[in-house]
Structure 1
């Protein structure tokens, strides 16, 4: 119904589940532009939704709905996905934040993806916003992350050494009949040849629009500062990602430099400080500084649990999240 209301507006598009709409922002030159316009875009989409008798909610999962009861969106792409994935496709009533950053060429894309890959655990911790699933507290901070990992070619990306390696990998998958094109590689971070960008897909949708801007600033700075290094041991990065999925900002991460575990909050503060000069060059210093607000207030999962304790029911939590997604 929202898609019909928004027809021609260019603001939203369908996703796999009909319970999900993807809000499509224009290309922004600076994160400051995004920070200014995102609340406006959310209000416009919320008005369309209310016209159809529903509210929009920014959360990595719906706290109590039954995913398999949500019909899939129409279209040849989604029919092919359901054909290929079966039951897995019908569980994907989940909601992610996808960030595209323009890069000049393929080699820059590989360097940026490798940099984002090593930072995925911290990015998951900062963005964790999906503690409830099918009416239960899962004990996870980012339930969405584990649900999406049921998809093939998801999770941490391969550590490609050069653009040619990525191209060969995709060509082999296409030639073998596994995928139609590169867009069916759903890694946490990936090159996006169609758009000339790198895309980060790991974060949960954020309830607070300012947290979205903070995460985008962090991602832009990481891409700008990528130095071409390959990621460290992928098994330890995967271990750190699990810690982030489980505990969000309360996690500790194995630190490759020191060989010991360090609190996620400490790493976030240190990374924000390290990236400050880059943020000044990119004119997103204020937005990057908002990462510290997430560190101090806690991740979205913790805020959801606190709101549930105050309100007493998951239905009331959804009402709270709707109000926080688009404040009236």
Structure 2
């Protein structure tokens, strides 16, 4: 199976941000996506409205950037679309919010979007699909050729726990504290074509594997492979899908900067003749679990002999190592915001702190997430 790859300018950037539609009175999710998107289309036209689209549930809208050259351009693009959506939503008594899961809402009370693609998904996956009331952030970074896509994807697997710990924002599921930093990652990984990618050697290996999945009826198109990191042939990117939904634009920018800098450095290393390291899959799997369970307090394995290190310390060193790359790409401020998140705490800790201050009232957690969304950055100590 031949899969054309639409090469992109090196380190170009695109971001997808899945937003929740929350009733301002009940604080529960509310299915208003179709109405809001129709109003958006009437207001700004088809081209601009294409930056916001349906997802599986009617209580979700995904906001999408165009192809951007910098993190600042990408976050400004997101902010413009979110501003339009916020005005339309508020007229309906709905607010915009983001976290990996909604602290209170039950997936059984949510309407599936009327779309043949989603109907087919639910028909095939049944309960696994019906409970996908989860929200994430996806970051695309451009690469020039398919020959680079697979080595970069394989090397990025070592950083899955870093991205997950930094973005973890789903401690609650159906109104209960799961004890995890990221329950979303575990819910999503239950799908047969989601979770950790298979470490394939090269583009030919990827084409062969995708051809096998299509021929066997496992998937109809490669769009149905939802790995934590995957190549996106149509966009000419490597796409990081591991991140939980991030509550603030600042956090989206920090994660995007980290992704762009890592891919850019790997791209340069390939150009200089280096072979990128490829971590063992079992080690990545263990580290992903540790990040899902403990978030930024995770002790991740750094070799095959059982040595461990704090993911928090690893992130501090990673930011320092990547700062020269960030200065060249114009995202040094956004990359340094990773350190701000480490100081403020990732969203899962901020949510639990809000619940603790309210004697376990998860409606207060929703209020905190709404306030952070409007502020654009973590709100600590209120």
TM-score, normalization: structure 1? Answer: 0.96
For residues 43-73 of structure 1, the C-alpha deviation after alignment (integer angstroms, 9 at most, x for no partner) is 2221121123211111110101111221111
Q: Within 2, Cα distance between the matches of 1:176 and 1:36? A: 43
Q: Within 2, Cα distance between the matches of 1:327 and 1:214? A: 16
CA RMSD of aligned residues (A): 1.6
Matching of residues 45-64 of structure 1 within 5 Å: 45-64=85-104
The DSSP-based 3-state class of the residue aligned with 1:217 is helix
The DSSP-based 3-state class of the residue aligned with 1:6 is helix
| Counterpart selection for 1:316 from 343, 364, 372 | 364
For residues 248-271 of structure 1, the C-alpha deviation after alignment (integer angstroms, 9 at most, x for no partner) is 101111112885111111000011
| 1:268 corresponds to | 315
The DSSP-based 3-state class of the residue aligned with 1:266 is helix
Specify whether residues 230 and 154 from structure 1 end up closer, same or farther in structure 2 by C-alpha distance, changes over 3 A only. Answer: farther
Tell me the matched-pair count.
328
TM-score, normalization: structure 2? Answer: 0.82
| 1:253 corresponds to | 300
Confirm or deny that 1:327 pairs with 2:375.
yes
Specify whether residues 219 and 112 from structure 1 end up closer, same or farther in structure 2 by C-alpha distance, changes over 3 A only. Answer: same
Structure number with the higher strand fraction is 2
Specify whether residues 286 and 5 from structure 1 end up closer, same or farther in structure 2 by C-alpha distance, changes over 3 A only. Answer: same
Confirm or deny that 1:3 pairs with 2:50.
no
Instruction: Indicate if the aligned counterparts of 1:62 and 1:133 stay in contact, CA closer than 8 A.
Output: yes
Q: Within 2, Cα distance between the matches of 1:47 and 1:236? A: 46
Confirm or deny that 1:217 pairs with 2:257.
yes
For residues 12-41 of structure 1, the C-alpha deviation after alignment (integer angstroms, 9 at most, x for no partner) is 101111221111122211012223443333
| Counterpart selection for 1:304 from 351, 358, 365 | 351
Gaps of 5+ in 1: none
Matching of residues 1-328 of structure 1 within 5 Å: 1-7=35-41, 8=46, 9-226=49-266, 227=269, 228-256=275-303, 259-312=306-359, 313-327=361-375
| 2:380 corresponds to | none
Runs (4 or more) in structure 1 with deviation over 6 Å come to none
Specify whether residues 111 and 317 from structure 1 end up closer, same or farther in structure 2 by C-alpha distance, changes over 3 A only. Answer: same
Gaps of 5+ in 2: 1-34, 270-274, 377-382
**Which piece of structure 1 moves more, 131-140 or 5-14?**
5-14
For residues 68-111 of structure 1, the C-alpha deviation after alignment (integer angstroms, 9 at most, x for no partner) is 22111111111110111111111001001011111101011112
Deviation at 1:286, TM superposition (A): 1.2
The DSSP-based 3-state class of the residue aligned with 1:126 is helix
Deviation at 1:297, TM superposition (A): 1.4
Q: Within 2, Cα distance between the matches of 1:11 and 1:35? A: 13
Deviation at 1:174, TM superposition (A): 0.7
Deviation at 1:180, TM superposition (A): 1.2
Instruction: Indicate if the aligned counterparts of 1:43 and 1:326 stay in contact, CA closer than 8 A.
Output: no
For residues 105-163 of structure 1, the C-alpha deviation after alignment (integer angstroms, 9 at most, x for no partner) is 10111122112211101110011011111011111101100010111111111111111
For residues 196-255 of structure 1, the C-alpha deviation after alignment (integer angstroms, 9 at most, x for no partner) is 111110001111210110000000111112244252111111111100000110111111
The DSSP-based 3-state class of the residue aligned with 1:74 is coil
| 2:4 corresponds to | none
